[in-house]
Every structure is written in C-alpha cells, then in structure tokens.
C-alpha cells in the first residue's frame, strides 16, 4: 500500500488542528469549573482563606444582603466580613450552600463565563430556610496562576 506523503501530512495537520482545540477548550472548561468550586466550596472556612485565593483584583460582587455591591481589590474580603456581620445581625446560623451542575461554561481565550443553579439552606432564629432556586453566575479571567473570579452574583428566585 502506498501513501501520498503530502496528502498524509495535510490530513495529520488538519486532524491535529481540529481535535487539539476541542481538548484544550474542554480542559479550560474543567479548570474554570474547578476554580469556581474552589471558591464556593470553601466558603464554610471561617477564615475565607481558600476561597479568597480565587478572587481576582479588582473584583465586583452583587449579593442579596446590604450593601448589595462590593468592588475593588479587597471586595472578596469585604463581602466576607459583611456576610458574617449580616448573618450575626439577622440571627442566621451559617448553613450549607451548594452549586448544582453548570448550565453554562463558556471559555473565550483568557475569559470565561459560568452559570449554575445553587441552593442555600440555613437556620434563622431557629427556623430552617431553604433557598432552593438560586443562581450563581461568575465571570473569570485566566492569569499566570490559574482562573480567577473577576465578578460574581448570587440571585435568589
């Protein structure tokens, strides 16, 4: 059997160009999801250490409790302090927040967009509260040290 070397080379290059970007995008999507989970899954850490490592600088945050918006190089830490203060003032015992499977993970170069359903179950003045229809949305930026969250929102239904 005889192979046409130029045709074989073109076929090999074409296959490489078509398949490698798909694997790269899939790998990047996995990295984006991992970064979001590193942030979100470590919110129970009372020092906010692991979660804060995923925040970009500056970052923008919108959440359901006052003052509702945080922005700047320390926005993640400022949000965390406001969250703890709000819970204490409102008689809320820190609960269990979970992300569902991602609805959207779009990666374009060094930027990404992530959306997923979320739940939050907590206790307020002795009563169990279920936020079962929330949405967590984040925009991320790829840095030399990995994906960093540059903005996020928590939206309850």
Query: Domain total for the chain?
Result: 1
Give the CB-side neighbour count of residue 154, counting CA atoms within 13 A: 20
Instruction: Round to whole Å and give the CA distance between 148 and 43.
Output: 16
Strand partners, 72: 59
Q: Using 50, 70 and 90 to split pLDDT, how confident is the model at 53?
A: confident
Q: What is the mean pLDDT of residues 133-141?
A: 96
Q: Using 50, 70 and 90 to split pLDDT, how confident is the model at 90?
A: very high
CATH code (residue 10): 3.10.450.50
Proportion of the chain above pLDDT 90, given as a percent: 57
Which residue range(s) make up the domain with 9?
5-156
């Amino acid at each position: 059997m005889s192979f046409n070397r130029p045709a074989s080379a073109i076929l090999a290059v074409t296959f490489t160009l078509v398949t490698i970007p798909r694997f790269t995008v899939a790998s990047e999507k996995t990295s984006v999801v991992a970064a979001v989970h590193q942030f979100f899954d470590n919110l129970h850490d009372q020092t906010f250490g692991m979660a804060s490592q995923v925040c970009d600088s500056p970052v923008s945050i919108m959440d359901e409790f006052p003052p509702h918006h945080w922005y700047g190089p320390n926005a993640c830490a400022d949000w965390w302090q406001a969250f703890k203060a709000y819970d204490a003032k409102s008689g809320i015992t820190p609960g269990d927040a979970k992300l569902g499977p991602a609805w959207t993970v779009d990666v374009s170069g060094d930027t990404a967009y992530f959306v997923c359903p979320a739940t939050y179950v907590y206790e307020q003045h002795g009563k169990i509260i279920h936020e079962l229809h929330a949405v967590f949305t984040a925009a991320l930026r790829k840095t030399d040290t990995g994906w960093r969250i540059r903005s996020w929102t928590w939206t309850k239904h």
